[in-house]
Amino acid sequence: MDAYLLEFANMLLRWLHVIAAVAWIGESIYFVMLDNGLKTPKDEACRKKGVFGEMWAVHGGGFYHNQKYATSPEKLPDDLHWSFWKSYTTWLSGFALFTLLYMANPSFYLVNPNSAWEWAANMTGWQANVMALLFLLGGWVVYNELCKRISPNMERDGVLSIAVAVMMVVVAYLSVHIFSGRAAFLLTGAVMATAMSANVFFWIIPGQRRMVKALKAGETPNPIDGKRGKQRSVHNTYFTLPVVLLMISNHYSFLYAHELAWVIMTLFIFAGALIRQFFVLMHSGQIKPAYPAAGVVLILISVWVAAPSSAPAGGTDVAAAGDGPSVAEVSGIINERCVTCHSREPSHPSFNSAPAGITYDSDENILNSIAQIKQVVGSNYMPLGNMTQMTDEERAVIAAWQE
């Protein structure tokens, strides 16, 4: 019953998280489009009022006329629309989900027993939890320091972008070496997503509050607040596409269970940012197909990098020994190593229904999923956390199994 309620809570939180993220990212993409699509108003009186850009749009059966003021309107209305709850809700629900799923079961989901770094492979559950929290916090601190030190007055934003890109490669590399593949993708996405929400919380909203306060007091707002808000929201826009991919990556073990998972992750982060760049420019009227084309090239490289190798795992020469293992031999291994979890009635205490809906109760089920079994066993992704202690010899038998 407990496992069932936990699953239910997980589902509800995920629902909330996706809805809040869609609303937040949707609004953020909308405002980038609006900002880049502004045209100088034709109406002289309008320009005199301080409007420096406007956009006409038709949507949902009505006509809209947005105007952006260069500095400030003569009079600020009381019912100003602010955007922050969507961002905070996304982060809070995402963090709750991470706690419920990963931090409640760290030895399953966070620890990578196959890590090339011995200390990481031997982390206890709570050490892995502390590590995950440090990772998120550290990501924000480093990113924030880079922004503050490299481009404090927004005068070196180009150099800053390169530094942030390098930082993301390092994050991808570290995460894959410290955590299990699935958690590594998620945590790298969470480092970016945390930076995005923290940008809103620590810089964009406080800056806007100072601007509004100054205007209400009849003073001129400090332009640095506006510029910094813009800098951070530009970063946020390039993070969005990569973050979405990293968040849904947990459905695709061929991405994160690969030994070069950090390279695959890096390729996708840059591909996402390049594709986003195309749309950012497009809204300001420039069509630059080279950006998405470069993004597609990176994705094609990742198709090549992530392709499963044909060599049997463990390198043992079982295949050469004959026609490959018998069905009985394979199903014996699966029964011993997989069915504790992958059964209609799992005997493993952490599961009350088959994980990912996959069951191996009958030989028929096993035979129907040969390719998938070979993939997850060959990449060491399954058995999860090698909880059932599958041996290299057994992995080699699975790899040598003929379809």
Residues that bind ligand HEC (CB under 6 A): 182, 250-251, 253, 334, 337-338, 340-342, 348, 355-356, 358, 372-373, 376-377, 382-384, 387-388, 390
Decide whether 157 or 336 has the Cβ nearer to ligand HEC. 336
Shortest reach from residue 271's CB to ligand HEC, in Å: 21
Closer to ligand HEC by Cβ: residue 235 or 342: 342
Least separation in angstroms between residue 339's CB and ligand HEC is 8
Nearer to ligand HEC, 221 or 385 (CB): 385
Query: How far is 270 from 297, CA to CA, in rounded Å?
Result: 11
* Dihedral sign for Cα atoms in the order 87, 91, 97, 101: positive
**CA 37 to CA 105: how far, in whole Å?**
47
Task: Select from 123, 258, 256 the least CA-distant residue to 188.
Answer: 256
Cα–Cα distances (Å) from 98 to 186, 247, 325, 355, in that order, read: 9, 11, 40, 17
Residue from 101, 100, 122 nearest 111 by CA: 122
Q: What is the token pair recorded at 129?
A: 């939890």
Task: Compute the least distance from the CB of residue 382 to ligand HEC, in Å.
Answer: 3
Half-sphere exposure of 38 (CA within 13 A, CB side): 16
Q: Tell me the CA end-to-end span of the chain in Å, nearest whole number.
A: 39
Residues 6+ apart with CB under 8 A from 395: 313, 314, 377, 378, 380
Across the strands, what pairs with 99? none
In the bound state with ligand HEC, the residue whose beta carbon lies nearer, of 3 and 167, is 3
- C-beta of 185 vs 291, nearer to ligand HEC: 185
Nearest distance, CB of residue 248 and ligand HEC, angstroms:
11
Q: Which residue, 136 or 330, has its beta carbon nearer to ligand HEC?
A: 330
Q: Omega into 312 within 30° of 0, i.e. cis?
A: no
> Exposed e or buried b for every residue in 69-84, given b needs 16+ CB within 10 A?
eeebeeeeeeeeeebe
Rounded to 5 degrees, what are φ and ψ at 159? Answer: -60, -40
> CB-wise, 106 or 383, nearer to ligand HEC?
383
For residue 336, the minimal CB distance to ligand HEC (Å) is 9
* Residue closer to ligand HEC (CB basis): 24 or 109: 109
Q: Cβ of residue 381: shortest distance to ligand HEC, in angstroms?
A: 7
Q: Which amino acid is present at 161?
A: S
Smallest gap from Cβ 332 to ligand HEC, in A, equals 12
Which helix (DSSP H) or strand (DSSP E) does residue 397 occupy? helix 392-400
Q: How far is the CB of 383 from ligand HEC (least distance, A)?
A: 3
CB of 394 to ligand HEC, least distance (A): 8
Q: Which is nearer to ligand HEC, 10 or 144 (CB)?
A: 10
- CB-count burial class (<10 Å; 0-12, 13-18, 19+) for 46: middle
